[in-house]
Amino acid sequence: MNTTGNTILITGGGSGIGRALAEAFHALGNKVIIAGRRQQALDETTVANPGMSSVQLNIEDPADIQRVSLKLASDHPALNTVIHNAGIMRPENLLDPKLSDAEATILTNLLGPIRLTAALLPQLQKQPNATILTVSSGLGFIPMAVTPTYSATKAAIHSWSQSLRYQLRSTNIGVIEIAPPYVQTELMGAAQAVDPRAMPLKDFIAEVIHILQAQPNATEVLVERVKPLRFAEAAGPEKYSAFFNQFNDAMNHPH
């Protein structure tokens, strides 16, 4: 991926990792369009970054995805990059399940990127070069038991990204997966944004951009902090099981 000269759509672009990626790519000279549910967050981001555009999008709604894809084709015909960043993360008690949380997580984190990719593919195929970036998670490789559906959707995004990359191998569209570690955002509330166990957001974004610039043909973007999770299974079943238990025990206890 070339990190400059693109027209980029970033879902979930009004806060957290999405906003930070939007601002980083905007600073590199890309045309950035942020999408999200909350108009106020979109407006705050675009006001702080003159030249950035926004479009309101309910990623759970197939009709809204179609509406936005048509608007993008009309308003931003040079769109050649999409970053599937929108996501929700909710704790679940599987002994007393609240299925609405699981269903909303699947709709947003998994069906959203699948539907939006399908809607944008005709436009992306018209570009000389295009890129689809998915945002999975270290939790796609070591699930956090308290967020089982979130972790499962991120494992699915990793798998789906591989299949998408393979099926698009003869086209002009590349597929890159970004797998964040635990990052200081408000994804699970204000406490996460100041949790010292989490990677500072600014450091995460800087390392992601560095990897994309240094490795333009990368298919996975893995900062150093996520590698213990990404490659845990390579140590074998016994060590993986021990690491899984140790990791979940540690995350169950507030710092």
Instruction: Provide the phi-psi class of 29: left if phi over 0, else alpha when psi is between -120 and 50, else beta.
Output: left
Which residues have C-beta within 8 Å of that of residue 201, sequence separation ≥ 6?
16, 17, 20, 183, 184, 185
Report the alpha-carbon angle 248-254-255, nearest 5.
Answer: 105
Give the type of residue at 241. Answer: S
Per-residue pLDDT of the chain in tens (255 residues, 90 and over written 9):
999 999 999 999 999 999 999 999 999 999 999 999 999 999 999 999 999 999 999 999 999 999 999 999 999 999 999 999 999 999 999 999 899 999 999 999 999 999 999 999 999 999 999 999 999 999 999 999 999 999 999 999 999 999 999 999 999 999 999 999 999 999 999 999 999 999 999 999 999 999 999 998 999 999 999 999 999 999 999 999 999 999 999 998 765
Q: If you compute the radius of gyration of the chain from its CA atoms, what whole number of angstroms results?
A: 18
Distance CA 35, CA 247 (A): 33
- Domain residue limits, the chain: 7-226
Catalytic residues: 150
The CATH fold of domain 7-226? Rossmann fold (3.40.50)
Distance CA 113, CA 120 (A): 10
- 134 in Cβ contact with 175 (< 8 Å): yes
